[in-house]
Structure 1
Amino acid sequence: MTTDAGVSDWDPWLARALEAARAGADALRTVHAEARIIETKSAPGDFVTTADVASNEAILKVIDRAGAQVGLVCEDHPERPSGTGLRWVVDAVDGTGNLALGIPHYVVSIALEERVGDVWAPRVGVVHDPNRDEVFWAVDGGGAWLGKSRLSVRPPCPARDAVVATEYAYTAEGRTRQARTLTALLPAVRSVRSSGSSALNLAWVAAGRLDGFLEDEPERWDWAAGALISREAGAHCTPWGTGVICAGPALAAELRALVNTAEY
Structure 2
Amino acid sequence: MESSHIAHDVARVLNSTQKDSPGKVQLYVFDEAVTGREDRASINKETLSPAQLEVVALEVALNAAALIRRRRAELADEHGHVGVLGTKTSDVDPVTEVDQASEKLIREQLVERVPGSRVLGEESGLSDGDCAGDGAGGEVLWIVDPIDGTVNFLYGVPAYAVSIAAVVDGQPVAGVVVDVKAGEAYVAHAGGPARRLSGAGSAGEGGEEVLRVVPAQAEASLGRALVATGFSYVAEDRRRQAERLTRLLPRVRDIRRIGSAALDLCRVASGEVDAYFEHGLGPWDHAAGALIAARAGAIVAAPDYDVMKEEKALVMAVKPGVAVELAGLLAD
TM-score (norm 1): 0.91
Distance 1:234 1:67, change over 3 A: closer
Cross-structure match for 1:69? 116
Corresponding position: 1:213 with 2:276:
yes
Amino acid at match of 1:140: A
1:186-223 C-alpha deviation (Å, 9 max, x unpaired): 01000111111000000111011110100111111001
Q: 1:29 aligns with which of 69, 82, 87?
A: 69
Q: Does 66-75 or 228-237 show the bigger shift?
A: 66-75
CA RMSD of aligned residues (A): 1.7
Q: What SS does the aligned partner of 1:187 have?
A: helix
Question: Secondary structure, in 3 states, of the residue corresponding to 1:37?
Answer: coil
Q: Which residue of structure 2 aligns with residue 110 of structure 1? A: 164
Q: How does 1:192-207 map to 2 (within 5 A)?
A: 192-207=255-270
Distance in 1 of aligned mates of 2:123 and 2:272: 29
Match for 2:290 among 227, 230, 240?
A: 227
Q: Greater share of strand residues, 1 or 2? A: 1
Q: 1:68 & 1:18 partners in 2: Cα distance?
A: 17
Amino acid aligned to 1:235: A
Match of 1:95 among 131, 139, 149: 149
The residue that corresponds to 1:160 in the other structure is 223
Gaps of 5+ in 2: 1-40, 76-81, 198-207, 304-311
Query: What pairs with 1:1-264 in structure 2 (closer than 5 Å)?
Result: 2-3=43-44, 4-5=46-47, 9-33=49-73, 34=75, 35-67=82-114, 69-81=116-128, 83=133, 84=136, 85-115=139-169, 120-147=170-197, 148-156=208-216, 157=219, 158-239=221-302, 241-260=312-331
Q: Please give the alpha-carbon distance, in whole angstroms, between the structure 1 residues aligned to 2:103 and 2:273.
A: 28
Mapped contact 2:193–2:210 kept (Cα < 8 A): yes
Contact 1:16 1:62 in 2 (8 A): no
Q: CA shift at 1:180, angstroms?
A: 1.7
User: Could you tell me how far apart the structure 2 residues matched to 1:219 and 1:177 are?
Assistant: 18
Q: Which amino acid aligns with 1:41?
A: K
Provide the C-alpha distance between the structure 1 equivalents of 2:283 and 2:185, rounded to a whole number of angstroms: 20
SS in 1 for 2:85: strand
Whether contact under 8 Å (1:91, 1:109) holds in the other structure is yes
Structure 2: distance between partners of 1:86 and 1:244: 23
- The answer on whether the counterparts of 1:94 and 1:107 sit within 8 Å (CA) in structure 2 is yes
My pick for the range that moved more, 148-157 or 180-189, is 148-157
Deviation at 1:57, TM superposition (A): 2.2
Paired amino acid for 2:300: C
Distance (whole Å) between structure 2 residues aligned to residue 139 and residue 54 of structure 1: 27
Query: SS at the partner of 2:258?
Result: coil
Aligned to 2:10: none
By how many angstroms is 1:99 displaced? 0.6
Q: Is the 8 A contact 1:154 1:209 kept in 2?
A: no
TM-score, normalization: structure 2?
A: 0.73
Q: Which has the higher contact order (CA 8 A, sep 6+)?
A: 2
- Structure 2 distance, partners of 1:76, 1:165, is 25
Q: Which moved more, 1:149-158 or 1:133-142?
A: 149-158
**Over alpha carbons, which structure has the higher Rg?**
2
